[in-house]
Amino acid sequence: MFFRKDYAAPGPGIDPNAPEKTGFARFLEILQIECATLVKLNLLFLATCLPVATIPPAIFAMHMVVRKMVLDQPVDCFHDYRTAFKKYWKLAYGAFFVTVLPLAAGTFGGLFYLRSAMDNPLFLAPFVLCSTVFFVTMLASAYLYGLLSLGKPLKEAVRRSLLFGVGKPLRAALAALCVYGSLLVAVLEFPLSAIYLLFLGFSVPCLLGNFFMRTVLKQYFEV
C-alpha cells in the first residue's frame, strides 16, 4: 500500500557487522532509505495543513514520524502520523505558541526598536533584549519538538530546550539554519520551487533539523 511499508518483505542484504555510518554519510543513508516515506509525509503534512487551524498538530505529527527515522525505528507513515496528530494535538498547540509568540515578539519588537534607535540611542537596550529573545527562542526551538516527541511534558521540554539551546548553540544553530533557511529560500524561489515544496519541501528540512539533534534524541530515548 502507498502509505504502508512492509518491513517483513525481503530486500537487499546488509552486513550486520558493518559499522554504522556517521555524519553526513548517515544522513544520506537515511534519506535514501526513507525517500518514499518522506514524499508521503510531505503530502500528508500539506493536506492536514489546509484547514490552517490544524497547522500546529501537523507540525508535531511530522516531527514524530521523522524522530522515528533518525532513531532507526520502523516507520508506518500514515499510522504514525495519524496517531500523533490525534493524540497530541493539545500538546502541539502548546509547543506552537510557546515558539511562535516569542519569535513574533522578538521580530517585530526588534525591528521597531531598531528604527527608533536611529533617532534615540536609548532604544538600543530594548532592541538587544528583543534580539536576544528571538535568537534564544530560535535555538531552543531546534530541541523542543525532539524532546516532546520523546514524551517529555511541555514545561520540562521547554526548560531543557532552553538549556540545550544556550549550552549547545552550534548544533541548534545548524538545525535552525537548515530548517528555516531552506524554507525561506524555497518560498523566495516560488513558483520555481513549487515541485520541491509539494513533495519534499517540508519533510526533508524537518529530517535534517532532527538529524542534527540525533545525539541528544538518542541519549534521552535510551534513558
- The structural domain count of the chain equals 1
Q: Is residue 13 part of a domain?
A: no
Spatial distance between the Cα atoms of 73 and 65, rounded to a whole number of angstroms: 10
Give the Å distances, CA to CA, from 204 to 127, 128, 199: 34, 33, 9
Indicate whether 19 belongs to any domain.
no
How many residues are there in the chain? 223
Range of 5-9, 91-95, 148-152 with top mean pLDDT = 91-95
Q: How far apart are CA 193 and CA 204, in angstroms?
A: 14
- Binning pLDDT at 50, 70 and 90, where does residue 103 land? very high
Percent of the chain with pLDDT over 70: 87
E strands, the chain, in order: none
Name the one residue in this structure whose C-alpha cell is 525591528. Answer: 111
pLDDT of residue 1: 45
Is 44 part of a structural domain of the chain? no
C-alpha cell read off for 222: 535510551
In whole angstroms, what separates CA 216 from the centre of its chain? 14
Evaluated on CA atoms 25, 26, 29, 30, the torsion sign reads negative
pLDDT, average across residues 112-126? 92
| Residues 200 and 38: beta-carbon distance below 8 Å | yes
**16 within domain boundaries:** no
- C-beta separation of 141 from 177 below 8 A: no
- With respect to residue 7, please indicate whether it lies within any of the assigned structural domains: no
Mean pLDDT of the chain: 86
Q: Is the pLDDT of residue 104 over 60?
A: yes
Of residues 151 and 56, the one with the higher pLDDT is: 56
State which amino acid sits at residue 108: F
Q: Is residue 161 part of a domain?
A: yes
Residue 162, pLDDT score: 92
- Predicted local distance difference test score (pLDDT) of residue 21: 66
Quote the cell numbers at residue 20.
554504522
Specify whether the CB–CB gap between 149 and 216 falls below 8 A: no
Poorest-pLDDT segment among 47-51, 110-114, 143-147: 143-147
Q: Kindly state whether residue 67 falls inside one of the protein's structural domains.
A: yes
In our burial notation (b when 16+ CB lie closer than 10 A, e otherwise), range 33-44 reads ebeebbbbbbbb
Q: Which domain holds residue 205?
A: 24-36+49-222
Instruction: Look at residue 59 and tell me whether its pLDDT is greater than 70.
Output: yes
**pLDDT for the residue 166:** 87
Amino acid at 142: A
pLDDT attached to residue 20: 65
